Chain A
Amino acid sequence: MTERPPSFGQAFGIGVTQADADFVIPNLATDIPVCVDPFLLYKSRDPLLLDLHDRLLAVFGRAFELHDAGDRAGLDRLIDFPEVNAIGFGYTQGRIAGSGLGWQLNQLLADLLETSEVIRERGLRHVEELQLLSVGVGPDRVSDITANVLKLALVEYTQQQSELWRIPLVSSAPLSHYLDHAEMEWRDGYFDLPVNPLSGAPLILVPRRIVRLLPWINYDDFYSKEAQLLLPPRPQLPRYPGMAKQERLVIAKKEMVAKIRESPAVLDRYVARKERDSGAALPLLHDEPDAPQLRTTGDALLARLAGIPTGAAAAADYQLLVYEILNFLFEPDLTGGQLEVRTYLGTERRDLVYWNEAERSFWKYARETYLSPLTMFEVKNVDALESDHINQAATYLGARLDMLGFVVTRHSPSAAVVRKVYSVYNDSPALPRKVILVISDSDLRKMIDDRVAGRPATPYVQDLYRSFRSRVQ
């Protein structure tokens, strides 16, 4: 009987599960069939991700320039995207090593630019468009391209998450082929990274908010929705009972790619539609946690919540636990949570800040009503919440962060604290007014129960908000 390889948590001796982690938990033995989708960078409200999308396009902008200047050697050097084995994504069965797009893509891109003047002039609005413009580029290649260009940012993210989850790092692990954005050159270097105990290779963690099963813009989707515009009309034959089904005309990708290159208006139309429908482009993993996994994680979180005492000594533990619970409850609506976030001048420090990337329901309403993509949680591991805690949270709220904030604490607030929360709302000088909602351990427990039972936790917070707004009227 073959022994099952250890899970990521077992290998590093930590209690992380996919239900409460901000990153995609790697499978140490094999690739996970998902991809890094550049469209999720494009549609994000996080300026860091938007900047990464710009950098991704800048690489191809530079490649176009090199081609125009006749610098084929420079083009070959730049357009070089081997598979990033360290992230462990790919559609290869049973191993962590695919082929990647080493030197082939430069040939494909050069071929594209030479044969299509229209594309040369139009440029690329999304890297994923290459799937529709070149026969040899599929979803996995788009993921490789993105992962290569983002590698340095992902290394930084891996180091942050490793510190948070206490994942051991190996000092100066060798990492090849990362992009120096300033020089537009590929470099090799050494970074502090966790190492896969099975293969001995460095591991890079990827935030789940930029991961999908397939890129939002992909060839199969294009073919099923827009390609009919490029195909000759089907003859309308009379139909009668028992008649054989009329076969759809299927054409090879090579032929379709040639047609798209000739008529990029169809590509523009498709891309414009996908941009318009971006609200439906949600991060998605291949195996979202099932009921037993949710139960295990939920029970573990509840047990830890019951075991942490109040007081300053356990404040850090409580803060980390609240972070894990909020991940468990609200990912992917609230995502990219960061602890101990300092303000621009470092004068203030927020306990927990999340990016609000919700596309529906209460969190979307909160982002649009309070005009901020950020949501703040202050964490107070105290026996009794005081008015000063509310005052402190109120000073953090404002135009730069958000006018809606949360205070997470151990017990329900006293009547005096509730009055203070109302007065913060009523004394706000401008609209929208400052809203502070207090979430106690008892609220957290109820929301965990909802999540474990397969129900979303958001309606509970929505009810807290509705109740606040009704009472404060």
Chain B
Amino acid sequence: MVRKTQQELQQARKAAQAEREAEEQERQKRLIWLFEAKERHAQLVSVADGLYDELDKLARKWPSMPVTERQVTKVNRLLGAVRQLLEDEGDEFADALDEVVPAGDMPETRDIVLILREARDALDRFESKYESEWRTVHRADG
């Protein structure tokens, strides 16, 4: 039986240590991402809910009323942020959340409400996917 030399044992220990450190780094990175994604998700849900509620109120009374430029700017900012958060998730419906291009005519309020609803649903799907991991993050954080 070949006995490992002291030097070889040291090298093996170092390699195992490096591997553990790399794994730990990966785990930490993942935790940070999960934490940031959770924070960002909560922020976007808050914005999306606010915009949805306000525009939904308008759409119930004046569904075909054109939205304003300011509303389009705010909705587009939200859609861009949602698409960015969900860009690697393989969610084709989230990828299709294109920004609103008025091109001379503002869209109707009911259409914007529909788009906001799609954005909210995409954020819900994202939450369902990471919910259990977020609880872990919460425990680790707490």
Residues on A lying within 8 angstroms of B by beta carbon are 360-366, 459, 462, 465-466, 469-471, 473
Contact (Cβ within 8 A) B101 A469 = yes
Contact A363 B99 (CB under 8 A): no
> Which residues does chain B contribute within 8 Å of A361, judged by CB atoms?
104-105
Which of chain B's residues have a CB closer than 8 A to the CB of A459? 105
Residues B33-85 near A (CB distance < 8 A) = none
Q: Which of A363, A365, A466, A470 has the most CB of B within 10 A?
A: A466
Tell which of A360, A365, A473 touches B98, judged by Cβ atoms closer than 8 Å: A473
Tell me, yes or no, whether B140 is within 8 Å of chain A by CB: no
Separation of A364 and B99 alpha carbons in the complex (Å)? 21
| B103 CB within 8 Å of chain A | yes
For the complex, give the distance between the alpha carbons of A150 and B101 in Å: 42
In the complex, which residues 80-107 of chain B have their Cβ closer than 8 Å to any Cβ of chain A? 98-99, 101-105
Cβ–Cβ < 8 Å partners of B101 in chain A: 465-466, 469-470
Asked if A362 and B103 sit within 8 Å, CB to CB, the answer is yes
B104 pairs with A363, CB closer than 8 A = yes
Closest residue of chain A to B98 (Cβ to Cβ) is A470
Q: Are A462 and B105 in contact (CB under 8 A)?
A: yes
How far, in Å, is B73 (CB) from chain A's closest CB?
15
- B interface, over-half SS: loop
A466 — which chain B residues lie within 8 A by C-beta? 101, 103
Residue B105 contacts which of A362, A469, A470, A471 (CB distance < 8 angstroms)? A362
Alpha-carbon distance A471/B98, docked complex (angstroms): 8
A465 to B104 alpha-carbon distance, docked (Å):
11
Do residues A365 and B104 form an inter-chain contact, with CB atoms below 8 A?
Answer: yes
In the bound complex, how far is the Cα of B99 from the Cα of A462, in angstroms?
Answer: 15
- Kindly list chain A residues whose C-beta atoms are within 8 Å of the C-beta of B105: 361-362, 365, 459, 462
18 A-B contact pairs sorted by A residue (CB < 8 Å)? A360-B104, A361-B104, A361-B105, A362-B103, A362-B104, A362-B105, A363-B104, A364-B104, A366-B103, A366-B104, A466-B101, A466-B103, A469-B103, A470-B98, A470-B99, A471-B98, A473-B98, A473-B99
B104 contacts across to A, CB distance below 8 A: 360-366, 462
Cβ of A473: which chain B residues have Cβ within 8 Å of it? 98-99
In this complex, how many residues of chain B approach chain A with their Cβ under 8 Å: the count is: 7
Considering the chains assembled together, what is the distance between the CA atoms of A366 and B103 in angstroms?
8
With both chains docked as a complex, state the minimum distance between the C-beta of B70 and any C-beta of chain A, in angstroms.
18
Chain B residues within an 8 Å CB radius of A470? 98-99, 101
- What 13 new A-B contacts, CB under 8 Å, besides A360-B104, A462-B105? A363-B104, A364-B104, A365-B104, A365-B105, A366-B104, A465-B101, A469-B101, A469-B103, A470-B98, A470-B99, A470-B101, A473-B98, A473-B99
Digit string of B8-49 for contact with A (CB within 8 Å is 1, else 0)? 000000000000000000000000000000000000000000
| Chain B positions within 8 Å of A362 at CB level | 103-105
Closest to A358 in B: B104
Shortest beta-carbon distance from B106 to chain A in Å: 11
Which residues in B have their C-beta under 8 angstroms from that of A471? 98
Least CB distance from A303 to B in Å reads 32
Contacts of B98 in A (CB 8 A): 470-471, 473
- Distance in angstroms from A405 CB to nearest chain B CB is 16
Residues of A within 8 A of B103 (CB): 362, 365-366, 462, 465-466, 469
| B90-128 to A contact mask, C-beta < 8 Å, 1/0 | 000000001101111100000000000000000000000
- Which of A361, A364, A470 is the most central at the interface, judged by chain B CB atoms within 10 Å of its CB? A470
A363–B99 Cα distance when bound, in Å, is 20
Q: Report the nearest A residue to B104, measured CB to CB.
A: A365
Nearest opposing residue in chain A for B83, CB measure: A473
Which 8 A-B pairs give the minimum distances between C-beta atoms?
A: A365-B104, A470-B98, A362-B104, A469-B101, A466-B101, A361-B104, A462-B103, A465-B103
Cα–Cα, bound, A360→B104 (Å): 7
Give CA–CA (A470, B99) in the complex, Å: 6
Q: How far is the CB of A436 from chain B (nearest CB, A)?
A: 16
Task: Specify which chain A residues have a CB less than 8 angstroms from the CB of B102 in the assembled complex.
Answer: 365
Q: What is the bound-complex CA distance between A386 and B102, given in angstroms?
A: 30
What separation, in Å, do the CA atoms of A469 and B98 have in the docked complex? 9
State in angstroms the CA–CA spacing of A283 and B35 once bound together.
Answer: 62
Chain A residues with CB below 8 A from B99, complex form: 470, 473
Bound state CA distance, A365 and B106, in angstroms?
11
Expressed in whole angstroms, the Cα–Cα distance for A267 and B104 within the complex equals 34
Q: Give bound CA distance, A329 to B98, whole Å.
A: 28
Cα–Cα, bound, A362→B104 (Å): 4
Contacts of A364 in B (CB 8 A): 104
When C-beta atoms are compared, the residue in chain A nearest to B102 turns out to be A365
CB distance from B138 to the nearest CB of A (A): 35
> In the bound complex, how far is the Cα of B101 from the Cα of A361, in angstroms?
13
Cα–Cα distance between A469 and B101 once the two chains are bound (Å): 7
Return B107 CB to nearest CB of chain A, in Å. Answer: 9
Q: Which residues of B contact A363 (CB under 8 A)?
A: 104
Least Cβ–Cβ distance between A456 and chain B, in angstroms: 11
Q: Which of B98, B99, B103 has the most CB of A within 10 A?
A: B103
With A and B bound together, what is the CA distance between A153 and B103 in angstroms? 36
**Given the complex, which residues of B lie within 8 Å of A469, measured CB to CB?**
101, 103
CB B120 to nearest CB in A, in angstroms, measures 20
Nearest chain-A residue to B97 (Cβ)?
A: A470
Closest to B105 in A: A361
Bound complex: CA of A466 vs CA of B104, how far in Å? 10
User: How far apart are A174's CB and chain B's nearest CB, in angstroms?
Assistant: 48
A320 to chain B, nearest CB (A): 29
> Once bound together, how far apart are the Cα atoms of A470 and B102, in whole Å?
11
CB of B45 to closest CB in A, whole Å: 23
> Which chain B residue has the least Cβ–Cβ distance from A368?
B104
Closest to B96 in A: A470
